[in-house]
Amino acid sequence: MSGLTKQQEKLVADLEMEMMADMYNRMSTSCQKKCIPPRYKDAELTKGETVCIDRCVTKFMELHDLIGKKLTTMSQQDEEKMKQMQAQMTGQK
Amino acid sequence: MAAPMRSGEGVTKETISQLNLEDVDSFSLIVDHVIGEKKLHTNVFLPSAFGAGMRQREEIMITKVFESCSFKATASGVVGVGLGMALGLFTVGIDPMSTYTTATPDQTPSTRAVLKEMKVRCASYGKNFGTIGFMFAGTECLLESYRGKSTLSNGTISGGIVGGLLGLRAGLKAAAFGAAGFALFSTAVDYYFRHG
């Protein structure tokens, strides 16, 4: 791990745990709302519903990855801008 | 969520303060480790916490086979063959003379002739019912997989397709009538099973 203190490692693990739980909740709510119509004549999942849930979960995970990458690039850009501003301020002083 | 790392205590929502370079630094560092490139890929998802947990590999494979479209279509085809043969046997018992004519009419056919008739008719009915069952089940399963939903119109559309294909042997008009008839029949049966 590149330069993470023990406390930061704990924070990362906690955050990841919370993120996974939150993602699971959102995913199951969203996919259930989209894929399973509210008619409960049968306890078994039909083939259409199974296929729909597979696709929903795959799309959700892919979306999650894509948005995560976007967020990291945006935060990197923010960090560089901040560094430049800081360098300018210290340079002016 | 700006997480100030200066204090060294636990991070809570109350400790959010003004944003400065240290916060942004640590934010992007943490974000990189949680969802970015430096994420530690362990695949430990604690499945016992969510639902029924991981199933065994064999169980997953078996379930996949039994729910596949080809298995369903083949099973329907086999059931169709059996049903067709039973129906053929039954109709031969009732009236063995419909496709067989003896040399002089009003003569009861010999046992051998009846047995031959039985074989022919069982094979013919079994083949017909078997292909109908196979095609219909296969088409409906494929359609349901493609659409991703299981509504009443799946039966209608696949009935139309199969009826049209089967009637195409006798011309275009027969195909249209076959499609309409089979679609109607399939819708009625599905409706009965869903709402009956």
Q: Which of B60, B125, B115 is nearest to B93 (CA)?
A: B115
* ipTM (interface predicted TM): 0.74
Tell me whether A34 touches chain B (CB under 8 Å).
no
Answer whether A4 touches B (CB < 8 Å).
yes
pLDDT in tens, B173-191: 999 999 999 999 999 999 9
Query: Cβ neighbours of residue A64 under 8 Å, at least 6 residues apart?
Result: A23
Q: What is the pLDDT of residue A1?
A: 45
Q: At what angle do helices A6-35 and A47-92 cross, to 10 degrees?
A: 140
Q: Could you report the per-residue pLDDT of B38-90, keeping only the tens digit for each? A: 777 766 666 556 666 778 889 989 999 999 999 999 999 999 999 999 999 99
Chain A contact set for B30 (CB, 8 A): 8, 11-12, 15
Least confident of A14-18, A41-45, B27-31, B191-195: B27-31
Is A75 within 8 Å of B149 when comparing Cβ atoms? no
Q: Which residue has the tokens 């998802």?
A: B45
Nearest to A52 among B3, B26, B148 (CB): B148
SS3 call for B186 = helix
Tally A–B CB contacts below 8 A: 79
A27, A57 in Cβ contact below 8 A?
yes
Quote the pTM value: 0.76
Q: Which amino acid is at B157?
A: I
Q: Which chain B residues touch A if contact means CB-CB below 8 Å?
A: 3, 5, 8, 11, 21, 24-40, 45, 50, 67, 69, 141, 144-145, 147-150, 154, 194
Of A7, A47, A72, the CB nearest to B144: A47
**pLDDT at site B103:** 57
Q: How far is A52 from chain B (nearest CA, A)?
A: 5
Asked if A55 contacts A31 with a C-beta cutoff of 8 angstroms, the reply is no
Give the number of other Cβ atoms within 10 Å of residue B8's Cβ.
Answer: 8
- Residue B130 to residue B76: CA distance in whole angstroms: 7
pLDDT band at B28 (very low <50, low <70, confident <90, very high): confident
Residues from chain B that touch A4, judged by Cβ atoms under 8 A, are 29, 33
Beta strands in chain A (DSSP E): none
Distance CA B155, CA B144 (A): 9
Q: How far is A92 from chain B (nearest CA, A)?
A: 17
The answer on pLDDT for A70 being more than 70 is yes
What kind and span of H or E run contains A27?
helix A6-35
The dihedral built from the CA positions of residue B75, B76, B82 and B85, taken in this order, carries a sign that is: negative
What residue type is assigned to position B33 of the chain? Answer: H
pLDDT per residue as tens digits for the range B140-174: 999 999 999 889 999 999 999 999 999 998 899 99
Residue B11 has a CB neighbour count (10 Å cut-off) of 21
> Picking from A78-82, B91-95, B103-107, which range would have the lowest pLDDT averaged per residue?
B103-107
Asked if residue B131 has pLDDT above 90, the reply is yes
